[in-house]
């Protein structure tokens, strides 16, 4: 039995995701674990507050389609066709924890910038995912 059976890989879909996915794939090969990629798009209201006097739904839809396209390109580029992919919308930490629980993930892999000071207090994503996770978390240095 390997160390991990179900690895959930939370990615940004930018060039930083390469390193995270490469590390996760190596871990998957070594442990024989099943990999699932997840990308979370945060609703615009989270970033700009909920009281903007405009209809964000069409922009939201465009952003989601853009993310779908990027996920598709990313998967093709990294030859990850046999890896499950999830594109969800919501609060990043909440969604990653929810999906990790649903999939009974035993490891979450996420990129980390290792921020200090204010950024630490404001909470980076890796930090947010570490806290509240019910499984192990591997923070890959970017």
Interface positions with a copy of itself (CB under 8 A): 2-3, 23, 26-27, 30-31, 112, 114-116, 120-121, 124, 126-127, 130-141
Q: Closest approach of Cβ 74 to a copy of itself, in Å? A: 21
Alpha-carbon distances of 79 from 48, 75, 87, 135, rounded to whole Å: 35, 6, 18, 27
Q: Closest approach of Cβ 121 to a copy of itself, in Å? A: 7
Nearer to a copy of itself, 27 or 80 (CB): 27
Nearer to a copy of itself, 62 or 104 (CB): 104
Nearer to a copy of itself, 41 or 105 (CB): 105
Q: Closest approach of Cβ 92 to a copy of itself, in Å? A: 16
Calculate the dihedral angle through the C-alpha atoms of 69, 70, 72, 74, rounding to the nearest 10 degrees: 160
Q: Closest approach of Cβ 34 to a copy of itself, in Å? A: 16
Nearer to a copy of itself, 17 or 71 (CB): 17
């Amino acid at each position: 039995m390997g160390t991990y059976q179900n690895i959930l890989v939370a990615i940004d879909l930018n060039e930083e995701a390469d390193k995270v996915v490469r590390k996760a794939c190596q871990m998957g090969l070594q442990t024989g674990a099943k990999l699932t990629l997840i990308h979370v798009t945060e609703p615009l209201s989270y970033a700009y507050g909920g009281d903007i006097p405009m209809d964000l739904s069409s922009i939201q839809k465009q952003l989601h389609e853009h993310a779908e396209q990027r996920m598709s390109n990313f998967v093709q580029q990294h030859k990850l066709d046999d890896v499950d992919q999830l594109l969800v919308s919501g609060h990043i930490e909440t969604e990653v924890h929810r999906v990790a629980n649903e999939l009974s993930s035993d490891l979450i892999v996420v990129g980390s910038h290792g921020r200090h000071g204010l950024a630490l207090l404001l909470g980076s994503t890796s930090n947010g995912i570490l806290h509240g996770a019910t499984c192990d978390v591997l923070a890959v240095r970017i």
